[in-house]
Amino acid sequence: MQTKIKFRGVVTLLVVATMIIGCSCSSSKIQTDMSARQKILKSFYPTLTKVTRFFGVKTNVKLPGKKVTAPVSLFDFNFESIDGNTTSIKNFSGKKIVIVNTASDCGYTGQYEELQKLYTQEKGNIVIIGFPANDFKEQEKGSNEAIASFCKKNYGVEFPLAAKSVVVKSNYQHPVFKWLSDPSQNGWNGRDPVWNFSKYIIDEHGNLIGYFDPGVSPLSNEFLSVLHTPQS
């Protein structure tokens, strides 16, 4: 029994090490075309998801447990879009909102494809807002223009992207992510992103109803079950 536990522990460490290695060697400039490394990461993404899922790495989910009304409305916030315009989140009132921090040079970058598929399937009912960030191992070094071009050309991204932002707790944290990770504002959740492609679901009234680690696919049953929670 102890041997099995030790073996599982070693394998888990190897999985984590693979993730770190696969996500840490970012290039100094993000190109519109995929680099050889980015192509490898894209092809490896399905395997990464299965392996991390099996070993429970970066697969945590947080739900409120009961209906919680946010003390501060998310609809009071704006964000700068990747093309420089200002967008009010109030524009998306009446739809489910998925907010996700993204990066172009990570093992989870392939999740762009799943997010776009979800956006296409649910168009009209949900909105996805991607916030590119360079907070984890400097995996998003490109300019806003380069990021937008990369996402469009390689993953067909059509959902809104914000200007590159800081999403982790700091003096520079984007106000939207401050709201997402501050219980005094959202009513219950204190979890800020643990890595690129951490995801939050907000209901039609602007209330946070779920947090999902990067290893949880936006097409998974547990994610979709929260996304499809009936409006109340």
pLDDT digits 0-9 by tens, 11-39: 444 444 444 444 444 444 445 677 877 87
- At 55 the pLDDT is 79
Would you say the C-alpha torsion 162, 179, 200, 232 has a positive or negative sign? negative
Phi, psi for residue 103 in degrees, rounded to 5: -155, 150
Domain extent for 97:
61-227
With respect to residue 7, please indicate whether it lies within any of the assigned structural domains.
no
- At 18 the pLDDT is 45
Whether residue 123 is predicted with pLDDT greater than 60 in this model: the reply is yes
Residue type, 109: T
- At 207 the pLDDT is 97
With respect to residue 13, please indicate whether it lies within any of the assigned structural domains.
no
Q: Which entry of 23, 25, 106, 151 is annotated as an active-site residue? A: 106
With respect to residue 165, please indicate whether it lies within any of the assigned structural domains.
yes
Q: What is the pLDDT of residues 130-160, one digit of tens each?
A: 999 999 999 999 999 999 999 999 999 999 9
Give the count of domains, the chain: 1
With respect to residue 119, please indicate whether it lies within any of the assigned structural domains.
yes
With respect to residue 97, please indicate whether it lies within any of the assigned structural domains.
yes
Task: Check if 106 is active-site.
Answer: yes
Q: Are 37 and 28 in contact (CB under 8 A)?
A: no
58-85 mean pLDDT: 97
Cα distance between residue 66 and residue 49, in whole Å: 29
CATH of the domain at 127: 3.40.30.10
| Site of tokens 């494809």 | 113
- At 45 the pLDDT is 79
With respect to residue 137, please indicate whether it lies within any of the assigned structural domains.
yes
With respect to residue 43, please indicate whether it lies within any of the assigned structural domains.
no
The H or E element spanning position 45 is helix 36-55
- At 232 the pLDDT is 67
Cα distance between residue 78 and residue 193, in whole Å: 20
With respect to residue 104, please indicate whether it lies within any of the assigned structural domains.
yes
